[in-house]
Amino acid sequence: AQSVAQPEDQVNVAEGNPLTVKCTYSVSGNPYLFWYVQYPNRGLQFLLKYITGDNLVKGSYGFEAEFNKSQTSFHLKKPSALVSDSALYFCAVRDGGSSNTGKLIFGQGTTLQVKP
């Protein structure tokens, strides 16, 4: 069965410091991996995705993520955090197999708190 784990409920980081939000996944076929961000009382905004190719994926707002097949991880990173990055972050996986319907399996979410 497909699953996504975000082991940290909350990540705290000082403004200007690098941040990492962790995600590991389990899928039977080739994974399609996504990161979304959710601001309070808002919908989800797409940040970035990995389908194939370069393991380091660059996305919106200076975020990037590294696909690591051996560790089945897709951690979200940013070199220098901003207070405005404070939000709820979701990792999601989709099985890239041909029979897959395209539905996303989401992690529980990680709250990122960036302090000035």
Partner 1 sequence: NAGVMQNPRHLVRRRGQEARLRCSPMKGHSHVYWYRQLPEEGLKFMVYLQKENIIDESGMPKERFSAEFPKEGPSILRIQQVVRGDSAAYFCASSPVGTKAFFGQGTRLTVV
Query: Least distance (Å) from partner 1 to the CB of residue 78?
Result: 21
Q: Give the binding-site size for partner 1 (rule: CB under 8 A).
A: 23
Binding status of residue 40 toward partner 1 by CB under 8 A: no
- 96/94 Cα distance (integer angstroms): 6
Nearest CA to 115 out of 45, 7, 34, 17 is that of: 17
- 88/111 Cα distance (integer angstroms): 4
Bridge-partner residues for 88, per DSSP? Answer: 38, 111
Near partner 1 by CB under 8 A: residue from 67, 90, 95, 114:
90
Cα–Cα distances in angstroms (integers) from residue 58 to residues 14, 27, 38, 109, 113, in the given order:
22, 23, 18, 20, 21
Binding status of residue 61 toward partner 1 by CB under 8 A: no
Which lies closer to partner 1 via its Cβ, residue 14 or residue 46?
Answer: 46
Which lies closer to partner 1 via its Cβ, residue 42 or residue 69?
Answer: 42
Q: Which residues bind partner 1 (CB under 8 A)?
A: 32, 34, 36, 41-46, 49, 51, 90, 92, 94, 101-109
